[in-house]
Amino acid sequence: GAVIGILGGGQLGRMLAIAASRLGLKTHIFEPGADCPASHVAWKTTTASYDDSAALRAFAESVDVITYEFENIPTSALDLLESLRPVRPNRRALAISQDRIAEKDFLTGLGLTCAPYATVQTMDDLAAAMAKVGTPAILKTTRLGYDGKGQARIMSPQDAPEALASMQGAASVLEGFVNFEREVSVIAARGLDGSVAAYDPGENVHRSGILHTTTIPARLSPSLRSDAVLVAARILNALDYVGVMGVELFVTPQGLLVNEIAPRVHNSGHWTQNGCAVDQFEQHIRAVAGWPLGDGSRHSDVVMENLIGADMDRVPALARETGTALHLYGKAEAKTGRKMGHVNRVTQRKG
């Protein structure tokens, strides 16, 4: 059988490896950090840096196709890997999602709507950006931000100097603050043959910039629900994408705005493990391995809750709940803000 190479050995890599093994496929993880969650379940793990071209080469030569669980793969590593094996999703999807400006330019170029935005490097840029997008606004580093890190809120222009200083010289983007009614996301997949399958949109609640819960189905009118799925399909087709993508959306009175896209399986798609016959992890493996996409229709309603840091103390009680599926990542230290696992609370499908 084929061997799937996965860049990144965190919980997403781990759940991809579990899904692959259910399909009889082996996984080889490439991860700089020792004792990563995915290494406990994968066929092989290479612990090496992305600067180690010999290790990258050996990794690539041992697999049939390469995918990833995070979008910040160094360009030099990607150059080498791509010369040896197919990398799915493709490089353009990676390049766009690595850079918030490129991402917003791409999305608005497709005719989709984002929050108003402007590029910022200096204090003069920030003043001009505030004049363009107004306040309140959010300043975000263009690269490497996740879980709300690398962001500063600007409630009024007097917050600007401190916000800019917190970017530590990194290129950033100022986004107008969106007074959304709710946040939803669409997890969608595109196969090697160009077929697209989207999961039902989920409704997301964040706490301190980190995803707290995803509730399925989202409260959305039928027309917004189909808009959400069409937005995702348009993005996947435009990128000639292969694999699963997470598309984060803001619901506003004027319709949907795209917040950001993630070229990988997504935390807000974890509900699919207990709500669908084929979950996002299996769907991603199917896509990158060139299999037909599976049935992602929802058979149950689900509330997914992330277990972060000290939430791990609740595991004994959660393990006694009826209708609750526990998914723990096997991480040693329950540090503050660290995603340790999640639960899917499953009820009968309503709508």
| Binding site residue list for ATP | 100, 140, 145-151, 175-178, 183, 206, 259-260
Q: What is the x/- site pattern for Mg ion, positions 234-253, by CB under 5 A?
A: --------------x-----
Which listed range, 78-86, 137-145, 194-202, 311-319, lies at the site for ligand ATP (CB under 6 A)?
137-145
Task: Verify binding: residue 69, ligand ATP, rule CB under 6 A.
Answer: no
* Contact in structure between 265 and 244 (CB atoms under 8 Å): yes
Degrees, nearest 5: CA angle 40-51-81 = 75
Residue 281 in tokens = 């992890």
* Smallest separation, CB 292 to ligand ATP (Å): 30
Task: Verify binding: residue 76, ligand ATP, rule CB under 6 A.
Answer: no
Q: What are phi and psi of 258, to 5 degrees?
A: -90, 125
Q: Which of 65, 138, 218, 304 binds ligand ATP (CB under 6 A)?
A: 138
Q: How many CB atoms are located within 10 Å of the residue 213 CB?
A: 19
Which of ligand ATP, Mg ion, none lies near 272, with the C-beta cut-off 5 to 8 A by kind?
A: none
Name which of 264 and 331 has its Cβ closer to ligand ATP. Answer: 264
Cis link prior to 161 (omega < 30° from 0)?
A: no
Q: What is the x/- site pattern for ligand ATP, positions 254-273, by CB under 6 A?
A: -----xx-------------
Pairwise CA distance, residues 346 & 34, whole Å? 34
* Smallest separation, CB 152 to ligand ATP (Å): 11
Give the pairing of strands 151-154 and 137-141. antiparallel
Which listed range, 80-88, 96-104, 256-264, 274-282, lies at the site for Mg ion (CB under 5 A)?
256-264
Footprint of ligand ATP on residues 139-168 (CB under 6 A)? 140, 145-149
Footprint of ligand ATP on residues 183-222 (CB under 6 A)? 183, 206, 209
The length of the chain is 351
Task: Verify binding: residue 290, ligand ATP, rule CB under 6 A.
Answer: no
60: CB partners within 8 A, 6+ apart: 5, 66, 80, 81, 84, 85
Name which of 294 and 341 has its Cβ closer to ligand ATP. Answer: 341
Q: Which residue's Cβ has the minimum distance to ligand ATP? A: 178
Footprint of Mg ion on residues 45-74 (CB under 5 A)? none
Q: What are phi and psi of 146, to 5 degrees?
A: -160, 160
Task: Verify binding: residue 11, ligand ATP, rule CB under 6 A.
Answer: no
Footprint of Mg ion on residues 182-211 (CB under 5 A)? none
Residue set of the binding site = 100, 140, 145-151, 175-178, 183, 206, 259-260
Amino acid sitting at position 1: G
Binding residues with ligand ATP: total (CB under 6 A): 17
CA 196 to centroid of chain Cα atoms: 18
Determine which helix (DSSP H) or strand (DSSP E) holds 76, and give its type and residue range: helix 75-84
Pairwise CA distance, residues 318 & 57, whole Å? 43
Residue 350 in tokens = 């309503």
Residue with tokens 């699919």: 272
Residues interacting with Mg ion, by CB under 5 A?
248, 260
